[in-house]
Amino acid sequence: MQQIQTKKAPQAIGPYSQAIMLENGTIYCSGQIGLNPQTGELASGIEAQTKQIMQNIQALLEELGYSLENICKTTIFLTDMNDFTKVNEIYGSFFSTHKPARSTVGVAQLPKHALVEIEVIAYNKI
């Protein structure tokens, strides 16, 4: 098991890794909120946060030689389920024909008062 860390995605804000890679190439990415990796600031609004999260996930995977096409499962956490349609539209724009399995969960609160958090599992398509 290998701990993964890149400056291309926000640094962990607690005692956890950005991601863990298993020996078989499976990657478990910690939940991402819409933090700008350069400034550490949270993007403003649900659309901007969702886009920033997907860009962060993409950067983290690319650092490992993977892409969004390697994602097999995502979990989305929303503080307001009324934002589901907006998040779904932006999230979907990052995928073409590849559609990972997904769960969406309503939660009371997220770190730094984020509006959305997304975690992914990716696999090695060799």
C-alpha distances in Å from residue 35, one per residue of 41, 96, 99: 5, 25, 24
Residue 63 DSSP symbol? H
pTM, entire model: 0.94
What are the residues whose beta carbons fall under 8 Å from the beta carbon of 105, sequence distance 6 or more?
75, 76, 77, 78
Residue 125 has pLDDT above 90, yes or no: no
Section 23-48 average pLDDT = 96
Q: What pLDDT band is residue 126 in, cutting at 50, 70 and 90?
A: low
pLDDT digits (tens, 9 = 90+) for 85-105: 999 999 999 999 999 999 999
Cα gap 100→120, rounded to integer Å: 9
**Residue ranges in the chain assigned as alpha helix (H):** 46-63, 84-93
pLDDT digits (tens, 9 = 90+) for 40-87: 999 999 999 999 999 999 999 998 899 999 999 999 999 999 999 999
C-alpha distances in Å from residue 63, one per residue of 1, 50, 67, 75: 17, 20, 9, 21
- Overall fold of domain 2-122: 60s Ribosomal Protein L30; Chain: A; (3.30.1330)
Check residues 27 and 124 and name the one with the higher pLDDT.
Answer: 27
